Amino acid sequence: MREAKKCVNKGRSYRIITPYDAQRGRIEEALKKEKIPWEDRVFCVDSFQGRSSAHSILALLTYDCILGNEADYIILSIVRTKKIGFLAEQRRVNVMLSRCKKGMRICTSRAFVEGAAKDTLVGLLARDIGQGAWGS
């Protein structure tokens, strides 16, 4: 929520993307609770690829529509601890990593990215950026 609040305070266009529908729902609820704009801001990555979820709160857009709907800033929520799960699918991860125009924040565990996920696109990105990749 801290990253979303920073975007709002700076008047930045942003979207939040997560690989998991359950995380999307929790993020939306947390944004609502904090009174941070949430409508049309939080997406499960599958909605960016034209797949839909029957219980989605948001009206999901088709892949062709979302391609022109990137945001200036993307916040990725990648919450895993042991298994790489979704991150093993490079095509889906590429969708998440290529939606920003100006900047991106990846919210995850450093231990996870440097451990189980070290050979995924996210792990390789963190390794290429180096220590500067990690904020507080």
Place of tokens 């690829």: 49
Residues of the chain with pLDDT under 70: 46-69, 80-81, 136
Q: In percent, how much of the chain has pLDDT > 90?
A: 28
**Amino acid 9: pLDDT:** 95
Question: Which residues lie across from 77 on neighbouring strands?
Answer: 107
* Domain range for 9: 2-133
Domain CATH number, residue 101:
3.40.50.300
Is 0.75 topped by the overall pTM?
yes
pLDDT for res 44:
83
- The type of residue at 126 is A
Q: Show the tokens assigned to 51.
A: 């797949």
Q: Which pLDDT belongs to residue 63?
A: 35
Measured CA to CA, the distance from residue 33 to residue 25 in angstroms comes to 12
Q: What is the pLDDT of residue 51?
A: 43
| pLDDT number for residue 47 | 61
CB 22 within 8 A of CB 80: no
Total domains in the fold of the chain: 1
- The total of other beta-carbon atoms located within 10 Å of residue 14's CB is 22
Phi (first) and psi of residue 54, to 5 degrees: -65, -30
